[in-house]
Chain A
Amino acid sequence: MKQIKAKIISNSRIKPSYFKMVMRARTAGPGEPVRAGQFINVRVTGRAGVLLRKPLSIYSACGKEHSIEVLYKVVGRGTEVLSRKAGGDELDIIAPLGNGYELPKKPQPVILIGGGTGTASIHFLAETLIEAGFSDVKALIGARDRENVICEKDLNKAGCEVQVATDDGSKGIRGYVSCLFESLAASAGPSMAVYACGPRPMLREVVRISRKFKVPCQVSLEEYMACGVGACMSCVVKTRKPSGGSSKQFVYKRVCSEGPVFDGSEIIWE
């Protein structure tokens, strides 16, 4: 984790409200390796009244080139300011943050599930898995409508078989991405690993299905955060106590520093 100046290489609109930003982040010493599932915390300057850094999950990264890519949706004042930055502009970022996904220990089929902007962190994981030699990687993308389906081509390019589900049926099957997952899980058998990033209701459903088919499942969570380094205790999530027990017995864990990736069975969904 370092606070560094990153130079924007490009910041382009890929869909009406989605942007992909490529930046080069040279560090004084050797750069810290960046893992899929980690995020960066970007300082937003240039608009009065916007205060907190914006956490953005890493879409892709290259250690040799010191490059980091993020894919973000313009949802508020902070991301709106970011969307107007151009190549050559400098950003103050803290990176890399969070734990990242744990890759499977042995070769096995992998299913990646992305919902909405959550698909961005799934993309980096797909690249990482395929580079590590996993040959059977399927990506399932869920979104409200076709305008919100992102990363499809890039996931294909990375080497994934991609399936899409939209709420309104404007692309792929009509319905939730968890339905796609359930039918796939039913036919795939128990030897697979599942990774998901997206809205809570989707993650909860993915975890339920994973448990039903007895397959391991890691989920990446989002929560409001201020510091990004585990100091402020804003971004906590309820998790089961290691000793088990009822859901009334819980431990708050920090999404920013103890996550954002958790074992799905650990989370207490509310």
Chain B
Amino acid sequence: MGVKKGNELTVNIGGIKMKNPVMTASGTFGYGEEYSRLVDLNKIGAVVTKTITLQPRQGNPVPRLVETPSGIINSIGLQNVGIKMFLKEKLPFLIKFKTRIIVSVAGDKIEDYVRLAGMLDGEKVDGIELNISCPNVKGAGNSGKRNKLFAQDKDITHELVSRVRKETGLPLIVKLTPNVTDIAAIALEAEAAGADAIALVNTFQAMAIDVDNRKPVIAAGSGGLSGPAIKPIALRMVWETARAISIPVIGMGGIMSTGDALEFIIAGASAVSIGTGIFVNPQLPLEIARGIRDYMTKNRIKTVNEITGARS
């Protein structure tokens, strides 16, 4: 691959050409605008938006968040402005920046995803991430079972992705849940159904209890765990998945340093997302992009692809 000097950080994730392999994880970077006074969005490989739904959502009651050792548990419940308001008020701000825009979407039924994809097709966005793995919304999944996630079922994942695929030519990223027995098997179904890339992992279902009042700390009872606490497990899942499929993997789960990001890349990720780490240090995506470049210079690596999956 002919890569110009100085462009060694560029990656192509299922048709989305990014200036570097560092992205923001959905739900941790708002609509980009919130962080724009602190972070130069032009230096981020891709911004993945807060998950958008067809209608605006209020989200879950508070407390929605608790810090646990090396992690946080959240249950926001997809509070968002809805697709109409997003296109009218949030997207125009984001397109001013030289970054790739990936819109995360979710719904209660497959039809919602199809409609959202249809509404985004033709808009100035670079890709769609199908959030079929949010642990904090009730009634998701078409299986009729309460709280089952789309991404916990191979057949539903296949049907959902293939129906959305028919609706849009935009690159499709499918975000998977780690709360499954065999994540690679789900990823294979998404690939077979036409996904362009797989993002993993979403949060691990988790809880914390306040022993004084003997109640869960999070109002919804349980939530999703993210942060360094999940990194080794997420890494193993990226490794298993990247070996099983042939489309690019976006790796995430507790990345707090360049070293963490490189681990994911060597395990098989073509790009990485930073989530919880942004809360701690908003500059982290930029610092990691620079860190990866330095690592490549030091080790005479010309493209990120060279080390993706380059575990010995």
Contacts and interface: CB of A to CB of B under 8 A. Distances in A.
A81 interface: no
Contacts of B74: 226, 232, 234
Contacts of A237: 62
Given A51-B276, A229-B38, 8 more contacts: A49-B69, A52-B279, A223-B62, A232-B74, A233-B59, A235-B65, A237-B62, A251-B58
Given A224-B65, A225-B65, A233 B79 contact: yes
Given A2-B38, A224-B64, A236-B62, A231 B71 contact: no
Interface in A216-266: 223-227, 229-237, 250-252, 257
Contact of A52 (B62, B72, B282): B72
Contacts of A251: 58
Interface residues of A, number: 30
A51 B280 contact: yes
A1 interface: yes
A241 to B, nearest CB: 11
A227 B70 contact: no
B280 A234 contact: no
B278 interface: yes
B97 interface: no
Contacts of B50: 231, 233
B212 interface: no
B70 A51 contact: yes
A49 B229 CA distance: 9
Contacts of B29: 231
Interface in B219-237: 227-228
B67 A52 contact: yes
Contact of B27 (A43, A48, A232): A232
B35 interface: yes
A122 B220 CA distance: 33
Interface residues of B, number: 33
A170 interface: no
Contact of B65 (A226, A230, A252): A226
Contacts of B281: 43, 92
Interface in B175-211: none
A251 B79 CA distance: 11
B72 A231 contact: no
Interface string A208-222: 000000000000000
12 contacts: A1-B37, A49-B69, A51-B70, A51-B72, A51-B279, A226-B72, A226-B279, A229-B38, A233-B50, A233-B64, A234-B74, A257-B34
A interface majority secondary structure = loop
Contacts of A2: 37-38
Interface string A87-129: 0000010100000000000000000000000000000000000
A94 B70 contact: no
A232 B66 contact: no
A212 B243 CA distance: 68
Contact of A53 (B28, B71, B279): B279
B283 interface: yes
A3 B282 contact: yes
Contacts of B70: 48-49, 51
A182 B138 CA distance: 44
Interface in B69-97: 69-72, 74, 76, 79
B38 A94 contact: yes
Interface string A26-61: 000000000000000001000011111100000000
Contacts of A225: 65
B283 A231 contact: no
B169 interface: no
Nearest to A257: B34
Given A43-B280, A51-B70, A229-B38, A234 B30 contact: no
B229 to A, nearest CB: 9
Nearest to A250: B58
Contacts of A223: 62-63
A226 B74 CA distance: 10
Contacts of B282: 3, 94, 229
A26 to B, nearest CB: 17
